[in-house]
Amino acid sequence: MYKDFISIFHKSVLAAGRNVEEIDLIAVSKRKPIEDINNVYKAGQLSFGENQIQEIERKWPDFKKLNSNSQLHFIGNIQSRKVGSIHENCEVIHSIDRIKVVKLFAEIEKFKDVKRKYFIQVNTGNEPQKSGVILSDADKFITECLESYNLNIVGLMCIPPLNEDPKKHFLTLAEMAKNFSLSSLSMGMSNDFDIALECGATHIRIGTKIFGERN
């Protein structure tokens, strides 16, 4: 299944006029056993994504000891009490959306002297049930993060509303990132990654098309 998707992915990248080398394909392995992850890793995949820190703590430390070139991306809602574990286990964090969390990561990095990469999650649909900074607060939040805290914030992330055209949300995010000279865009999943690539995505998060349906 992974190799089938890689073929589709490469065709979509070319169709969007992009270069495969500039796209980080993240295999979202949530709720999948380590055996499945290992099979995808052996097929050549290095970047993986998870959204539950408890699952990361259970599955990933031993795997990463054996496969040190793998990279783990945290893509879920960040609980304040779990910031330390997220920082310890994940090289890239995609879902910064509260100043309290930003401060906690900044304190940990200062204490440990270990830098991670961060994305700010923007709630482009202003959906009350969804994580992310709402659009009206986004500029102020991004400015504060960039100017007041010594974190390596590389870009923005979004998850468009299910019932809307994702393209307008991807373009909104891309324009916002451009305004702040942020080079990375985490956007696009199994159902809309091709549109995201056309809109400038640098990181796409693929679960179902790589691992199949989840239980």
Q: Does the structure show a pLDDT above 80 at 214?
A: no
Domain ranges of the chain: 2-211
Q: Which DSSP letter does residue 105 get?
A: H
- The tokens 């259970």 sit on which residue? 58
Per-residue CA distances from 71 to 28, 42, 111 (Å): 12, 14, 22
The values of phi and psi at residue 47, to 5°, are -100, 130
1: amino acid identity, one letter: M
Segment 85-129, tens digit of pLDDT: 999 999 999 999 999 999 999 999 999 999 999 999 999 999 999
Q: Cβ of 181: how many Cβ atoms within 10 Å?
A: 7
Rg for the chain, CA atoms, rounded = 17
Dist CA 104 CA 145 (whole Å): 12
Q: Does the structure show a pLDDT above 90 at 1?
A: no
Q: Does the structure show a pLDDT above 90 at 215?
A: no
Dist CA 185 CA 17 (whole Å): 16
Can you name the CATH fold of 2-211? TIM Barrel (3.20.20)
Using alpha carbons only, give the angle 135, 204, 171 rounded to the nearest 5 degrees. Answer: 40
Per-residue CA distances from 134 to 50, 104, 154, 197 (Å): 23, 21, 19, 23
Dist CA 90 CA 14 (whole Å): 30
Segment 145-198, tens digit of pLDDT: 999 999 999 999 999 999 999 999 999 999 999 999 999 999 999 999 999 999
Q: Which residues contact 115 (CB under 8 A, 6 or more apart)?
A: 109, 152
